[in-house]
Amino acid sequence: DSGVTQTPKHLITATGQRVTLRCSPRSGDLSVYWYQQSLDQGLQFLIQYYNGEERAKGNILERFSAQQFPDLHSELNLSSLELGDSALYFCASSATGGGQETQYFGPGTRLLVL
Amino acid sequence: GQNIDQPTEMTATEGAIVQINCTYQTSGFNGLFWYQQHAGEAPTFLSYNVLDGLEEKGRFSSFLSRSKGYSYLLLKELQMKDSASYLCAALMYSGGGADGLTFGKGTHLIIQP
């Protein structure tokens, strides 16, 4: 158990809908990362937050957005969902967001878009 | 962007040694991580290399050559529980700071009795 929690574990929805994925970092960690993992693309970095502020951006679509709240939990919002958005979404956390730090991954949210 | 290459699948025998290779583009490179991921589970940290050379940690070792854009993960005394995917990830820096980790697609390691 990494100490990172994610809810929900599974999510099934329809195309065109909007969903919110939630992540709580390990106690004491200030930085949160979001990743998408699909069978053909592997693990793709989406976005990083540090203490409420966006720090780095990866391959995140405009239909996706995220934020980190004052209590340090984070939410990833996915809108206008498409079939291709079906994937495993991981949240990870690290102490201060330095690139060389170990990232601890949560158990993931499996999203299925029908 | 960064392009990370690692073999898709490898097979090895219980008790043996296996080496999983990873190559990456050196421009903007600032460190190399290895993660282990069992099917349907979260990736877990194995090692981090920033300087050239070998880092040993129990049955697992990781090697880095920055000039060659090359790393490998060495697993010794293989156990059945080592059957998993092994993800190579490069830490990249641009003018604005760290860009986040770029992961390879992973090497699926199958351990046979």
Predicted confidence (pLDDT) per residue in A75-91, tens digit = 999 999 999 999 999 99
Supply the DSSP string of A19-30, one letter for each residue: EEEEEEPPTT--
Average pLDDT on B101-111 reads 95
Residues of chain A predicted below pLDDT 70: none
- Chain segment B47-65, per-residue pLDDT in tens: 999 999 999 999 999 999 9
| Residues of A contacting chain B (CB within 8 angstroms) | 2, 4, 33, 35, 41-45, 48, 55-58, 90, 97-100, 102-108
Question: Phi/psi of residue A83, each to 5°?
Answer: -55, -35
In sequence order, what are the residues at sequence separation of 6 or more whose Cβ sits closer than 8 angstroms to the Cβ of residue A76?
A20, A21, A23, A34, A46, A47, A64, A65, A66, A89, A91
- Which residue in B48, B101, B107 has the most chain A C-beta atoms within 10 A of its own C-beta, making it the best mutation to test that interface? B101
Task: Give the integer Cα–Cα distance in Å for A9 and A89.
Answer: 10
What are the chain A neighbours of B33 within 8 Å (beta carbons)? 102
